[in-house]
Chains A and B, each alone.
Chain A
């Protein structure tokens, strides 16, 4: 099995899906000749031509809206938002249109579209190239939000997203693009949207997280294992709708739960996870459910001191895990 990077897994999934299905096409800013500012669509323009790897005008609402129109017709567009931070002009199209099309038409119309967007900090991207935006969309029934952590999950879940008959927001951690590498089968496979994945079995504390923070938690768990602290790590993978059963099982397993995100704390994905746990797991809980998150400031500042203060890292996760284990 080849070891490839997170972003190579994105490209591989796109290429395979475009080969497999003529209805699949890519649109966005700089996705064509340039192959994307992060090179996620590298090589696709040469392979599939400008009609299927479409450089659009710089207008996010049109990228989403045109994609929705094409999807309603029956195509399978994969729209790229250059940065998750820039998805905001498209929010009306995503929430008012894509999310509600099937429901409002009583199942007559649907939007089989995927919107990809790089999110996350730790790349000196400052306020507008570092944000996590999943919480904006995570109370919108009709949408699915996928946030994979590993190249293997990226490929399987991106393919599943493209084949899904409903709109999927596929958020890719930009710090993970070249940092995270892993084994990815060359053959075709998909992974189920809506299923969390146990990334590490353990019995002392449960960490529930997603995206790059999964790796922080795994690293911290290895260190803590030397101290005899055995962490169970659940990767949500899909942050909306949440895998309630998976969360309940993981939380009940140890009764001590740490929820980690690099997004702001209040009103985030992990807050909903916490609510699920408190509704279902009271008599298995052995400690208050803990949230480790970014501070409640608007976004990640540019200066390295402040960026580091905001950004999640393995040390912060390790400290919180140890603290909970000692409770």
Chain B
């Protein structure tokens, strides 16, 4: 039997099982979205597949009753962890009025839900980074001890807003965790053409913060790194840059064909390291994920995803004229 790694991180068996369940939920919803797209029922999908471990592992390391999340468009695992429901996500996929992210105004993947402190985001990448810094600044001014977690891709780490935001947080020692989900591709451009340095985390030193690169397929490694970063934040030691390395298992989006720029073998190889597979194996080895629990979990999740799909598909769209609402305060 392999070594038990989660106990030393302070995670109970129930907690890791719940963590896995959330990862699996994200995967299953994502897969359903693709099916709906290919069936012509929803116009667009952008995936979390391959990044669930990093997303859920990081979220579980935070205090999800007070910390802020500024996710990017792949972060289904983050928003599920922070309290958004499968039904909410399906409503967003179908662009229905009840979608809590935007009431059907934004494409799927543009998350936001104030009651769960999931901060609204847009399509121009990396704009959320300074927002995370601003929220952390407000927390510091208000003498609160929350942390703000902002996530983005390795491609986004080239944007000015990343550098400006990281520097600002470094100068003012703000409680921000910058987490780069390095999935090796910015649409079609591989990381080798994105970065001149070896790792994204190498950039941390320029902003006076520690930088770490961890295995993005290992939720416990991500948990550990983010937990430590959150502790530094709460101790007033300022921000941290964490790079989680995994792989984007799907094309960039439902409108992309990744066979034009990467070999199938490369994808097949990556799938062997897929956290849904490897972390399940770990939990089986630890006797936490028994066959019985796994069957039950799969059935339960399928039921939830089916119900969420049905609900969302039958839900109403927003009134056309409601497009005029909420330009300004009303």
Contact = CB atoms under 8 A, between A and B. Distances in A.
Direct contact of A and B (CB under 8 A): yes
Interface of A: 25, 51-52, 54, 56-57, 59, 61-62, 64-75, 77, 89, 92-93, 96-97, 100-110, 141-142, 144, 164-166
Contacts of A92: 124, 127, 161
B220 interface: no
B69 to A, nearest CB: 13
B329 A68 contact: no
Interface of B: 68, 99-103, 105-106, 110, 112-114, 119-120, 122-124, 127, 129-139, 141-142, 160-161, 163-165, 167-168, 171-172, 325-330
A104 B102 contact: yes
A71 B130 CA distance: 12
Given A59-B167, A65-B129, A101-B120, A166 B134 contact: no
A105 B112 contact: yes
B160 A89 contact: yes
Contact of B327 (A77, A93, A141): A141
A106 B141 contact: no
B130 A62 contact: yes
B160 A61 contact: yes
A141 B167 CA distance: 31
Contact of A108 (B120, B137, B328): B120
A59 to B, nearest CB: 4
B134 A68 contact: yes
Contacts, number: 140
Contacts of A97: 122, 127, 131
B238 to A, nearest CB: 14
Contact of A106 (B103, B119, B130, B142): B103
A77 B130 CA distance: 14
Given A102-B326, A108-B113, A109-B119, 11 more contacts: A61-B161, A62-B168, A65-B134, A70-B141, A75-B138, A89-B160, A96-B122, A96-B127, A104-B120, A144-B328, A166-B328
B127 A93 contact: yes
Contacts of B123: 96
A102 B172 CA distance: 28
B70 to A, nearest CB: 8
A75 B136 CA distance: 11
A101 B119 CA distance: 10
A66 B141 contact: no
A144 B120 CA distance: 21
Nearest to B123: A96
Contacts of A106: 99, 101-103, 105, 326
